[in-house]
Copies of this chain bind each other. A is one copy, B any other.
Amino acid sequence: MTISDDVVLPARKKYLTGSRPDIRVPVREIPLTSGDAVVLYDTSGPYTDPGHLTDLAAGLPPLRAGWIEEARRLGHRTQRGHARHGAITPEMEFVALREGVPPEFVRDELAAGRAVLPANVNHPETEPMIIGRNFLVKINANLGNSAVSSSIEEEVDKMRWATRWGADTIMDLSTGRRISETREWILRNSPVPVGTVPIYQALEKVDGRPENLSWEVYRDTVIEQCEQGVDYMTVHAGVRLAYVPLTARRKTGIVSRGGSIMAAWCLAHHEESFLYTRFAELCEILAAYDVTFSLGDGLRPGSIADANDEAQFAELRTLGELTAVAAEHDCQVMVEGPGHVPMHKIEENVRLQQELCAEAPFYTLGPLTTDIAPGYDHITSAIGAAMIGWYGTAMLCYVTPKEHLGLPDRDDVKAGVIAYKIAAHAADLAKGHPGAQAWDDALSDARFEFRWEDQFNLALDPDTARSFHDETLPAAPAKTAHFCSMCGPHFCAMKITQDVRRYADSHGLSAAEALTAGLKEKSEEFTREGGRIYLPVEPVDSAN
């Protein structure tokens, strides 16, 4: 199907410039047929720049290289450190412009630990972004191969595809062969921060035997990943020896990979987790590269039955303790959350996390609100994600339709990202985020005014919206028709409402006046002249 060029107005990539020419914030501008334009947050990176030539071997341009150099001269190690000393870095100004808030507000939120700006000094390619409850709700897309599926090329492609549709960060969770090489390709080509779970690579180094893990193997793996440029790392340091027995009577035990590995280590050695005992040393390493902690919830519930149990909350208390330790080292910290939680138990998760972890950003996986729908867990979890985002979660880790069943492919990645952009935006609306509703309003205006092309272009997924419409009404005139195939021309409520309003306008009175003034004769005139609700399928002025 093709559409004539004069009708389609695709999105335009633009940049907002800050106080200096090298601070250039990407946005997606949607031009409307009404002459207006809507400006949206954009995560797609340079790939969508007009004229950009993609060269994966060369990687993306190192836009932060100069800023990292400047920051070194300031003498603090992390964005949080700079913020605590009152400095506003170019990264902070970048995200302030991106979020539409003053740079001072960004600095203060970072200093307080209520937000993180994950930006490894060795990842100059990343476009700065901020995660915190007082900013737009963010989403993460998990990528990475497993031993039985996928290749490096596929994973890099999924990374670009995920950010094209709106992923704010991606995590490379590869566990198969060539872990390090896969990560290198992703890092050099990712326009968004990249997270990892270093224990996966550490486990590969000891041939998959958790009992053979050690602090030394783990530490060397972390340093290798810090050097490569990973922006944030999941560390399951809250899985303490004493908590493992708390999972014994659970329906689904331990469902976090990292959590189960550390539990196996603790049980095999009958010792406290080295991630817990060596946590301060780990802080020093991460601080040196400004790698953000994502304190993993290794004991998160894996089923509705296990939600909000003692194992989960015992670990959360430890994560609160570790959050405080990390703060002493100027480390940036976010805290991971569940998982599988029925709706009535969701709010408690946010309340406790915020209370126990000094308001550090919460980063949750879903949660799934029921276990009965494998194949649709992007939906079971979008429900929980929207709610937990409203309650104050700062970033939502997506779940794809393949969850529990297999490794997501390209289509699953898109389905997961779209479901989570919906959840995040619904949360922004519910939180009353300034400006969030402008997007909904623009789309609703386009819908009410039958500007079909605007409605498609403003959609989160324009391709799908357009193709669904065209399944039943593919002809070009239908793009300006005052109905769609759902109700047909006789029964379009919006068309009837417009007819009523048009009658009133053309007679110089508001609908309210037409009624309240009791202009009975005008009503009769309406009936004679314009009361028809049929309308022929023909092009009409698009400004109607």
Contacts and interface: CB of A to CB of B under 8 A. Distances in A.
A418 B493 CA distance: 27
Interface in A359-411: 369-376, 378-380, 382-383, 386-387, 390, 401-409
A343 B137 CA distance: 15
Interface in A421-476: 421-423, 425-427, 429-432, 437, 439-441, 443-445, 447-448, 455-456, 458-461, 464-465, 468-469, 471-473
A299 to B, nearest CB: 11
Among A247, A490, A499, chain B packs the most CB atoms within 10 A around the CB of A490
A305 B386 contact: no
A472 B378 CA distance: 19
A247 B193 CA distance: 46
Contact of A209 (B146, B390, B531): B531
A373 B461 contact: yes
Contact of A405 (B200, B458, B465, B531): B465
B488 A527 contact: no
A146 B373 contact: no
Given A264-B496, A488-B147, A533-B209, A444 B514 contact: no
A515 B255 contact: no
The A interface is mostly helix, strand or loop, or mixed, namely helix
B252 A494 contact: yes
Given A375-B465, A531-B209, A496 B303 contact: no
A507 to B, nearest CB: 12
Contacts of A251: 441, 444-445, 448
A253 B494 contact: yes
A267 B526 contact: yes
A280 to B, nearest CB: 25
Interface in A478-504: 484-494, 496-501, 503
Nearest to A268: B527
A148 B488 contact: yes
A242 interface: yes
Contacts of A380: 422, 426
A523 B268 contact: yes
A25 interface: no
5 contacts: A146-B491, A149-B472, A175-B487, A203-B490, A387-B387
Given A248-B512, A257-B491, 7 more contacts: A245-B516, A260-B496, A369-B430, A376-B418, A379-B418, A379-B419, A406-B471
